[in-house]
């Protein structure tokens, strides 16, 4: 098999699609981000566990195409072990680059993965503020 199968996906994309990492969610997440693309119908959720501002675990659930599954799997691998600030700097193009590219028509999938991670971080920060502001 050559580096890029005829259908236009890299081996890394195919690996993360066929063997997705970190699928699922947590009973008590520290942050959850959900995003969707109404044009293609993809829906993605990323949940994070955080200790001392480090993402110790991250999971995803997605309803979408193979590229959506692969990008969600990749973003969880990229974020795990990073500080909140480091994970927040993961961009849409970083996800696609780590997967060794996506067909142009599928680039929106890398957008969903990075955006869901950023939403989970926003949710984590909002929850943290609520706890800090709670009386007593």
Q: Is 101 among the domain residues?
A: yes
Residue 14 counted as domain residue:
no
110 assigned to some structural domain: yes
Q: Which helix (H) or strand (E) holds 56?
A: strand 54-63
Q: For 33-87, how does the pLDDT look when each residue is reduced to its tens digit (9 = 90+)?
A: 999 977 778 899 999 999 999 999 999 999 988 888 999 999 999 999 999 999 9
Is residue 6 a part of any domain in this protein? no
Residue 5 lies in a domain: no
Asked if residue 12 is part of any domain, the answer here is no
Q: In what order do the strands lie in the sheet with 54-63?
A: 31-36, 43-51, 54-63
Tens of pLDDT along 89-133?
Answer: 999 889 989 998 877 777 666 678 999 999 999 999 999 888 777
Whether 40 is catalytic is: yes
Structural domain count, the chain: 1
Q: What is the CATH number of the domain that holds 75?
A: 3.90.1010.10
- The secondary structure of residue 57, as a DSSP letter, is E
Please tell me which residue in 35, 50, 109, 113 is annotated as part of the active site: 109
Give domain status of residue 136, yes or no: no
Which domain does 107 fall in, by range? 21-127
**Which residue among the candidates 11, 37, 40, 128 is catalytic per the annotation?**
40
Q: Is 65 known to be catalytic?
A: no
């Amino acid at each position: 098999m050559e580096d890029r199968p005829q259908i236009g996906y890299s081996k890394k994309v195919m690996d993360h699609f066929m063997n997705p990492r970190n699928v699922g969610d947590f009973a008590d997440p520290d942050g959850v981000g959900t995003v969707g693309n109404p044009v293609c119908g993809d829906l993605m959720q990323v949940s994070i566990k955080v200790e001392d501002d480090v993402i110790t675990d991250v999971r995803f659930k997605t309803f979408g195409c193979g590229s959506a599954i692969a990008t969600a799997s990749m973003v969880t691998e990229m974020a795990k072990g990073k500080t909140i600030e480091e994970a927040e700097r993961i961009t849409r193009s970083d996800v696609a680059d780590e997967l060794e590219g996506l067909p142009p028509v599928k680039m929106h999938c890398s957008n969903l993965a990075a955006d869901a991670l950023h939403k989970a971080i926003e949710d984590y920060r909002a929850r943290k503020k609520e706890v800090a502001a709670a009386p007593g």
